[in-house]
Structure 1
């Protein structure tokens, strides 16, 4: 009975305490807005000044500010002191990730009791007010991911209590002010991804409290100061992406608390300090790739760095062996040593303890494997259930490919063993690697048949087996590969017919040349207009479409075939006689043609160096199939290497198919256009060749700079696997590409004295350089505005590609700048939806434009490209950040809709489209950073 009475009594007592606490809290908070109002007047004025300079507040975060019925200390983002001399004064202003734009008012310097200022992940512009140095109590300054410019105010040194300065991902210039050397309490200094110049100050070594130092991706030069080794509390040191030179200072070995060291993408040189890693037992991330470092890797590095997660040393000049001690780093997730001079055998223990390994990229070295024992590392890697990429290409590996390769992780999407000396057959077990997207095994000595189990790899997009000794028939099961775009099997001994099932694959490049294939060619495969096909060197093939030039397949009896042979020989003899009659005439005509060709070449090449057919043939290994990188309406493009000014230069050679009607006019159009056009977003032409090949046939080619990242079509439409695709463009990059393309068109349309019309703008004609800057190419249909065609050729009547050509061109209208704008609008819609305008799902009544228009503005998330959807969902779904990304995509798609209006006069000009996209980027770019970038904060 006593227990029954006590229990409700305790409940009432608890309820009383809650009510009392609530009353006290409310009384205290109310007092902040009412007590001594004159004390907080200056704070309120400062906040209202801040609001007055905010030009955009889409979420209404500052709606409560200035409302007289709401106390200042209850305004969103505002926190006030509760006691002492700070009572009623603003001590914190937290307004991150609200998409606020405008400038930061100098009046914030009047918030003299402010301890924390956090305006990160907004769109503030202008300078960082020097008046912030008046806030002597300031401890935390967080302004990352904005668009602030100017220099870092030296006056911040007056804030002697500062613990954190985070100004990364802005547009700040100048050097790091020496005055900041007085901030002895500073623990976080984050200035990465700005435009800072000068050297790394040696006085940073005096800030003994520093825990986090980020200066990555600036323009800093000079050497890394030895004094940084004094920062014994430092856990993160990020200096990647600058122009630092000289050696890595040995003093960095004193940073025993260091967990992350980023020195990648600089010009550092010399060997690694011998004792540098002896004390770094807490190190988890080592990024030193893309430098000029040399020497050997420390043999005990794995023992000294037991917590190492990422070991990235690619693109240096290291030699010697890969330390077997790495096998003791049981937490290792990635080991990347690409393009060095490492030798010896690959440690057989690799993967035995590192069950978390996801990336093993060790190609481009001199590793050896001469027997089965040397291949035991593959069996060890089968323990790594998270392995997604394995590259052992371009080494000196011999022996037979082990069967254990089929037992690797089923998450593996990239496997390359190219350019080795591997023998034996391809194990059927590779068919177990169901997530493979790229299987790269050319330039080996593989024998036997292509296993039928490859048909299980239904996510495979690239299969490279050329330059081996494979035999037997092509498996019919290859037709199951519904994602396969590139199939290169040249220079083998593959026999039998070409299976018609290959027509089920979305092939773009098919190279079966120089094999022993025979029988009829399947018309359903060779009739695909977008497919680039090479089948030369297969004498047994017959039939097919006329363009292949193959003999007809035999359908008569042996007796009739013999009779036909006799007739054929007789006809050929007669033709030979006729040929003799016309020989002199042909020679005379040829002389005239050569004279004409010479005159044409002199006009076309007056400002380019001359290059011969022989030079181009040598540069491309005889226009070998493995160097083929693309094909279009008028020719094929090959990758080559050519010597220029005593240096090897990688080039792209576009060889015109002069049998194609209009190819010669296309050659002239491209030469004349690029002869006058110069812009950073246009493909640069290096030279041209109008000559005679080794067989005496006319030969025409254009030579461009080689752009290593392929074309936009490949990037947008490449299949994405569940865990992400390395070659996928994020939202920010797509927006930058859209701006680049618009910039090139704006230049062409404003060209003096006559505007240039491209006429064939589409993703496959937009190339990306090493920095993913877009370059518009393929000017085969380009012409000057109001140019008199003066010819009735097929080229003269062409108006771009289906799906991208403006509607008015179908009515025979004259080409115009607005026609290019239409193609640009469709390209923009394609980039952000991942849908081609020719996709069957639209049909004639719908179309890509209407498909997008129906989704605007409320259901954009349902039509956006899969990769963009994953980018949003894998980040922070249903947050203001994800909504902001969707809003950004919506704005971009609206530009695409405005550019692709049916009537030319209703389309916006390309100049206006460019300004609109630049405004979108300026507004959103700092808030659309990847998760990897945000994790550094």
Structure 2
């Protein structure tokens, strides 16, 4: 251990003896040491960390010993070191890849069977982590890809099954939409707070529309109560029920259920319950001052085009895609409702008519157009057998 006192020692050679034990760590204090030969002994243990101080070392031979552990990374930082012989020891693990270790002609590592390299350029075998990286990757891909593909296929099959079930269920719902839930007069009276003016949202030719919440509905609904004392109101109720029963489209107002009963006085009572539209009618957006509303904002050109397209889609469905074409006969801004996303819905089918598709076959429920009714300014001139598209 006292060799560390030889601070100015420049060269030491104790090779080919029978020295045992660890390499003295005090050798690191010999800062002027240039040549170190300790080969051919029985030295054990690791290369001392103190060797990092040997900045002037030019030659080091520690071969043919029983040194073990990992080769220190700091040996790569000894820039003056030219030949380094660590062969025939018991070193293990990855070798450094920088500095002197980048030149295989300057380093001898033979006889260390547990050493490996991090780069394929070295003559040593690749480290298990690196060598099996490609194999592991391929194994992982072989396992993961089939699992992922199977999961995607199963997911797609589930989606297809769900969509098929929905398609099978939707027609039944469409044809029975007027009978989803039977309600009583008392339910409607309670939902509208006794038909309070506070809940009144609109008046029509054949009745009034109220906002309310029914016991079996979480969201508010629009309740159209028919004034059966008004001439044509009973017929309008039947026409609207018939039109809604035979139509179903994303731009037609959604009917939830109906109520056909008697009130406490024994008089007939009829009402239709619709999906409530939070943004009201198109009429109120086009002419807010006429309805007592402040003009908070104007409809943009894009919104107007989208609303016109929604109405056109609804009319195309009614005129061209229904089994028996339906003519609305009273298409106007007050009968176009807007939801929270400003999607337009055509409503109020009280004057709707079923149109004959041929001149020889007249449906039993068809109505003549001779006494066609509608709103002044919105009845199409000339031919009444179609509905205009609103751009006003």
Q: TM-score, with normalisation over the residues of structure 2?
A: 0.50
Tell which structure's C-alpha radius of gyration is larger: 2
Q: TM-score, with normalisation over the residues of structure 1?
A: 0.21
Higher relative contact order by CA 8 Å / sep ≥ 6: 1 or 2? 2
